[in-house]
Each structure stands twice: as C-alpha cells, then as structure tokens.
Amino acid sequence: MERVYLDNAATTPLDKDVMAEMVSVMSTYYGNPSSIHAQGREVRTLIEKARKTVAGLLNATPAEIFFTSGGTEADNTAIRCGIEAYGIRHAITSKIEHHAVEHTLNQLLKQGLIDKLSFVDIDQKGNISYAHLEELLKNNSRSFVSLMHANNELGTLTDIERVGALCEQYDAIYHCDTVQTMGHYVHDVRKLKAHFIVCAAHKLHGPKGVGFLFVNHNIKIPPMIFGGAQERNMRGGTENVYGIVGLAKALEIAYAEMESHRQHVQELKDYLKDKLSREIPDVQFNGETAADKSLYTILNVSFPAMDMADMLLFNLDISGISASGGSACSSGSNIGSHVLSGIKSDPDRPSVRFSFSKYNTKAELDYVVEKVKEIVAKNVAV
C-alpha cells in the first residue's frame, strides 16, 4: 500500500480544482493589485471576487473579511488589536488553546498590556465549564474571551453560540479560533455573536500561507502590520493573490460538499475507533468522540504504556503511516502536549492523533490497525 496520510488536522492535500483555479490565475494575471492600470485592476477584481465569495458563505459582508497569511496571523491580529482597541485589561481563555492563542495572551500579560489572564475550567475530555466562564465574566472588568470551536488535538467541540451569548450578556469581546472547523461546519456570523473568527486555507484543501480574519462590523480595530493601504488599510503588504483565489475556491468546494464529506469522514472515524477498540487491548480515546460533541475529522487515541513510547510515531512513519502526537505546530519540541497535560492524560500512555479527510478510505484504516497491532504487541510493557 502507498503511504497512508492521517494528519489532516496539520494540513490537507490541495484539491485539484483549487490547484487548477490557482494555476489559471498564475498563468494569466501578474499585475500588482494596488496599481491603477489595467493589469492591476484585473487582479484587484480577483481579490474582491474572492472576498465576496467568502463573505457570502459566512453570511458576512465583504467589508468584514480581511485576508491574512494564515490562522496564526489572524489569531494574533484579533487578540492583540482587539485588546488594544478597547483598552481591555482582563482576558479569558483555556489551557488547551492553540499556541497561536496561548502564547499571544501570555506575551501580552508579560508585557503588561493586560493585567490578568484567567483560565476557564475544563474537564478530562476538554469540555469547558460554561458556569465558570460566566463567573469569570461576571466577577471581572470587561473581558476579552478567546475560546476555540474545536480543539486541534482532541476534536472536542465547544458550543460557541452559547459562549457568544454569554459574551454578549457581559459585554465581552469574543474571539473564536475556527481554524479546525472552517469548511466542516456552517458558520453563520450573524447568529454566532463572535467578534472575530479565523481561517487557514490549508486546513480545508486550500493552499498554505493564506487565511482570513472575520471582524464583526460592530467593532473597529487598528492594523497589526503596517506599511501599505492594502486590505482597506488593515494589513500592509502586497496581497497573496493566488492564495486568496485558492482559499475562496477551497471554501466554496467545502460548503458544496459539506454534508457528503461529513458523512464519509464520520464513518471513517467511527470505523477506526471501533476497530481499534476490538483489536488493541486497553486502548482509550482522549477527548469527546460522540458525533455531536466532537469534530468528525479528529480521533485522538491513547495506547497502553509501552517500551520506547516516544518511538511510536516513528514506527508508524516507517510503516508508511503519517499521523501526529499532537499539534503539528509543536513538532520537534521535547515538551509534551500542553493539551494532553491540560486534560490530565496519563503521561505514560503514548497518544496519536489520527485526522481524516475526504481522500481517506476504510482499506487504509485496515492497514493502519494491522500495523498498530504489530507495533503495540512488540512494545507493550508486561
């Protein structure tokens, strides 16, 4: 069998129709979108068409969509500029947020740009306590809340409409990292009550190096990147035209295929979970796994304690299986997953995040289980 790619939460293969759209633009249009001549105006039209496409899918206005280099920049802009714009001194997050959020808020605290950083309680499956969130909102000054839609390692979903309603009740600014769920769920920003949501195109079969930040029209923030009038004075720098076109096409395809994609991938997740439960003694699953509580593209598996546990991913890789031990942004770090630590997962049990896409098959999963069984049988401590 060819290599099995099950690290789609880290990045996804580029959709062939997205590639075709980008190649067509690359081979035809080369003007600078800030130029006023014909070639520049042509390219500016492509960007604004893409912006209109994205806005239409989210039930937003084009003026609320700002293209970025990806999810990390979008998160940083929302957090830094949102806190600055409204003079907010108190922020609320959780200890299992993506590092683009966690590190940014910790840096603002270190720099004295906020006075207090509170962490909402979470349970052992990664669910936040809505009662504790309300308590934090009620007992502090106006807050900036950053809580993600689906955890990128566990897949556990947060009821972001409920969070949005609480933030509205207590006049908080709400930023939601939707990187893992964009294109997998419908995001209607008129219902969501979030001030910021974000996207990274490469998580939904689009190109790397491009994303967007939605900024609710009810608020105004300053730019984070200066140097030009691009993105309506909100982000200096010549736009990544080909990436923007690819992002819009990828999101359009994702919305058109959403239901069939969900059904196919949910079946794969359920199939792998069931087969691992039957074939591997003492296997466990981190985070929520029920369909209504978990992102259908992620299954985080906790294996029995074993010799050479830190070599599990390496052995999978040697067997032709690409998976992850946590967030890909932490790859190469000798520090364990902050998410698994946050839910108090047993540190002696190695964990693997399998994440699926529309391109995966049950035959691939059969191969994965076969190889996992071999590796576990050889290395489980007696």
Structural contact between residues 189 and 199, judged by C-beta atoms closer than 8 angstroms: no
- Report in angstroms the alpha-carbon separations of 272 from 26, 113, 134, 292, 316: 40, 46, 37, 18, 16
The secondary structure element, H or E, covering residue 94 is none
- What does residue 198 show for φ and ψ, rounded to 5 degrees? -135, 165
Cβ contact 9:152 at 8 Å: yes
Residues 313 and 10: their CA atoms lie apart, in Å, by 15
382 class by beta-carbon count within 10 Å (0-12 exposed, 13-18 middle, 19+ buried):
exposed
Does residue 178 contact residue 53 with C-beta atoms inside 8 Å?
Answer: no
Choose the catalytic residue: 167, 176, 199, 329: 329
Q: Is 81 part of the annotated catalytic residue set? A: no
**Distance between CA atoms of 309 and 159, rounded to whole angstroms?**
34
Show the tokens assigned to 352.
Answer: 């693997």
Residue 156 is given by DSSP the state B
d(C-alpha 224, C-alpha 242), whole Å: 23
**What residues act catalytically?**
329
